[in-house]
Chain A
Amino acid sequence: GAGVSQSPSNKVTEKGKDVELRCDPISGHTALYWYRQSLGQGLEFLIYFQGNSAPDKSGLPSDRFSAERTGGSVSTLTIQRTQQEDSAVYLCASSLLTAIPGNTIYFGEGSWLTVV
């Protein structure tokens, strides 16, 4: 597609439910990133993928969070047993995983998650 696409754009869920957030990167981008941003805060790095592999998962806040990427394209971020502190906007980004110049990161519009 023309840009990074995320769905759903907004999600309200009850505490304790599981949620899945989807990211469709720019076609041909080998790197995919997930960030979380709480209201008024900076971007918190969660995880990144090189192809289908995630070299560094240390940013995931807890074992309730998991992410996968299949076919080198679409990625899903899953949050199990959601808690109110999970409420935030979840941003996905993608880039060509090459050396600079050219490694610009392109962000989607985010998935706004509210846990009630």
Chain B
Amino acid sequence: LAKTTQPISMDSYEGQEVNITCSHNNIATNDYITWYQQFPSQGPRFIIQGYKTKVTNEVASLFIPADRKSSTLSLPRVSLSDTAVYYCLVYNQGGKLIFGQGTELSVKP
């Protein structure tokens, strides 16, 4: 399981684009990059997953450079309800999945 590093916290304002970068220098060939979101008092939920280049869904975009040693979660035009903790995981199957501390995003009015 590749070790990941991401900022502990970030602040933003409503309507701004937020980019959270995760470093995973020892990512393996078969690993995928997956991001989860956790609101207070709830379990984490899946946001987006990718292997290379760019993935976009209705919630976010995920940018992965060619060397795959990092990835950036992009949240367009955040709102107060996007205040949450965001976790970056790198893995290719189930097993001992370590979430780490995540990035605590605070969106202000």
A62-70, A78-86, A97-105: which lies at the B interface? A97-105
User: How near does chain B come to A49, taking the closest CB pair, in angstroms?
Assistant: 10
Q: Could you tell me how many residues of chain A have their Cβ less than 8 Å away from some Cβ of chain B?
A: 31
Which residue of chain B has the shortest Cβ distance to A104 in the bound complex?
Answer: B46
Which residue of chain B has the shortest Cβ distance to A31 in the bound complex?
Answer: B94
A45 near B94 with CB under 8 A, answer: no
A56 near B96 with CB under 8 A, answer: yes
Grouping DSSP codes into helix (H, G, I), strand (E, B) and loop, the B interface class, with mixed when no group exceeds half, is loop
Which residue of chain B has the shortest Cβ distance to A3 in the bound complex?
Answer: B43
Q: Could you tell me how many residues of chain B have their Cβ less than 8 Å away from some Cβ of chain A?
A: 26
CA of A110 to CA of B93 in the docked complex: distance in angstroms?
A: 23
Any chain A CB within 8 A of the CB of B98?
yes
CA of A59 to CA of B44 in the docked complex: distance in angstroms?
A: 19
17 other contacts beyond A43-B87, A59-B96, with CB at 8 A cut-off?
A31-B95, A35-B99, A41-B101, A42-B99, A45-B97, A45-B98, A45-B99, A91-B43, A99-B92, A100-B32, A100-B51, A101-B49, A103-B93, A103-B94, A104-B46, A107-B42, A110-B43
Q: Residues of B with Cβ closer than 8 Å to A? A: 30, 32, 34, 36, 41-46, 49, 51, 85, 87, 91-102
